[in-house]
Amino acid sequence: MGLSIDEQKAVERFRKAVVEPSQTQLVILDFWAEWCGPCKALAPVLEKVAAEYADKGVVLAKINVDEERFIAAQFQVRSIPTVYAMFQGQPVADLTNARSESQLKAVLDQLLAQLPVAGSTGGAPNAPQGPTPEELAQYLKMGEEALAGGDAQRAASIFAQITEFAESNAGAHAGLVRALVQLGELDQARQVMARIDSEPRLAADPAIAPARAALELASTRVDDGQLAALRAAAAADPADMDAQFAYAEAAFAAGERDAAADTLLAMIAADREWNEGAARAKLLKIFEATGLEDEWVVGVRRRLSRVLFG
């Protein structure tokens, strides 16, 4: 895996302390440090609630960020205290803002009602209980917020957990594909899409369309050298529509969505009928993949309207 000896040891410690217990229990994972005042204030709350919920399958694990820098880096811990709920090796909720006993218990109760935690009243181990529509909506919202906030890894974990309990939920499957695309895990995203396509009713759900568009757009991803070459070719001859289009595709796939939009808008302004309106069609697909309510999309749609209608 390319890890140093110390990193391998850190991973093994984490596996024993967190991953293994989380296979059947809900682990409250607390990232802290000796010098952190808020961490010390939160610790008694976490310890008290974990003790009260022990018979429901909840345990507390603490990670000193000064001693386990590698693990903290893998979780992208930028401030402490940072607290996650872990189940089956994956973060299923961010508990950082649950600073009071009542807040923490409320989140734990919701999680225990959905997850097959050993000892919880939500269900027997490995026998998931279906979430209520309200709970499902809450977790979908949590996944979407993580995705919108740039935490694609956490979003993927949340959506993957939802698909285990709600196998026919199109929103969760679509979110998982979009999160995997953001992570650059295109092969995994294609595997999820293949499972979706094997279920005609799921594949036909409108929620899948943005995920399908995102995966299709990501398939044009190239390496940095190729992207630079396409950028140079487009800059050298603004009238070469093929060069402009190739660069716009690659730029969006590389995360340079402003450059992609600027290029496609310029193409539409120059010749909206080029290649049967390919530039406008590509821009609309980008809107679909990103989300029509996204602020960036709203802004670019205004620019497109000005180009089309003056």
Q: What is the reported pLDDT for 119?
A: 62
Q: Is 39 a catalytic site residue?
A: yes
Residues β-bridged to residue 61: 29
Contact call for residues 94 and 84 (beta carbons, < 8 A):
yes
DSSP result, 162-180: HHHH-TT-HHHHHHHHHHH
pLDDT at 101 over 60: yes
pLDDT at 126: 42
DSSP 200-231: HHHHTSTTHHHHHHHHHHHTT---HHHHHHHH
Is the pTM higher than 0.75? Answer: no
For the question of residue 136 being annotated catalytic, the response is no
From the list 10, 27, 39, 108, the catalytic residue is 39
Taking the CA atoms of 283, 284, 287 and 289 in sequence, report the sign of the dihedral they define: negative
Q: What is the DSSP string of 104-160?
A: HHHHHHHHHHHS--TT-TT-STT-PPPPPHHHHHHHHHHHHHHHHTT-HHHHHHHHH
Average pLDDT, the chain: 88
In the set 36, 155, 176, 260, the catalytic residue is: 36
Instruction: Determine how β-strand 90-94 pairs with β-strand 82-87.
Output: antiparallel
Q: Among the listed ranges 7-16, 36-45, 145-154, which one has the minimum average pLDDT value?
A: 145-154
Q: Which residue has the higher pLDDT, 131 or 252?
A: 252
| CA-CA-CA-CA torsion sign (184, 288, 302, 281) | positive
Q: Residues 242, 250: contact at Cβ < 8 Å?
A: no
Residue 31 DSSP one-character state? E
DSSP element (H, E) containing 93:
strand 90-94
Q: What percent of the chain has pLDDT over 70?
A: 95
